[in-house]
């Protein structure tokens, strides 16, 4: 069964460092998303991406965040200068259609710890 793959599963970084979280969406999907879940809190939408550009972003997704689809398979989230409050589980998701009207497939997540 096709699945969304995220690497690494766990990343520890020092405050102020840049991190790149990687995702391989399901191959025939066109819509890609990043979400985050701070420990003990609900999952929050960060950004959606379609046709090689950002479709929508939340107020969380400020200038320190960026997304890229550098080739035909990878979808990355970069955090430029990490802060302690960026510590969270980051989930990548993909779907065949947009608007939340088709099933979303989630990766297993990357646990980011900023120290």
Measured CA to CA in angstroms, residue 7 lies from 26, 36, 59, 101, 115 at distances of 14, 15, 25, 27, 19
Position among 5, 11, 20, 45 found at the interface with other proteins (CB under 8 A): 45
Residue among 31 and 75 whose Cβ is closer to other proteins: 31
x/- letters, 66..95, toward other proteins (CB under 8 A): -----------------------x-x----
Question: CB–CB of 75/92 below 8 Å?
Answer: yes
Question: CB–CB of 34/67 below 8 Å?
Answer: yes
- Sites of contact with other proteins (CB under 8 A): 31, 33, 35, 37, 41-48, 50, 55-56, 58, 89, 91, 98-109, 111
């Amino acid at each position: 069964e096709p699945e969304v793959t995220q690497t690494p599963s766990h990343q520890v970084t020092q405050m102020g460092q840049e991190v790149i979280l990687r995702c391989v969406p399901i191959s025939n999907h066109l819509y890609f998303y990043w979400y985050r879940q701070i420990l003990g809190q609900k999952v929050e939408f960060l950004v959606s991406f379609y046709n090689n550009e950002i479709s929508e972003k939340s107020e969380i997704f400020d200038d320190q965040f960026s997304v890229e689809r550098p080739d035909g398979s990878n979808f990355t989230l970069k955090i430029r200068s990490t802060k302690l409050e960026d510590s969270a589980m980051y989930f990548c998701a993909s779907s065949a259609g947009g608007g939340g009207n088709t099933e979303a497939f989630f990766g297993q997540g990357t646990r980011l710890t900023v120290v």
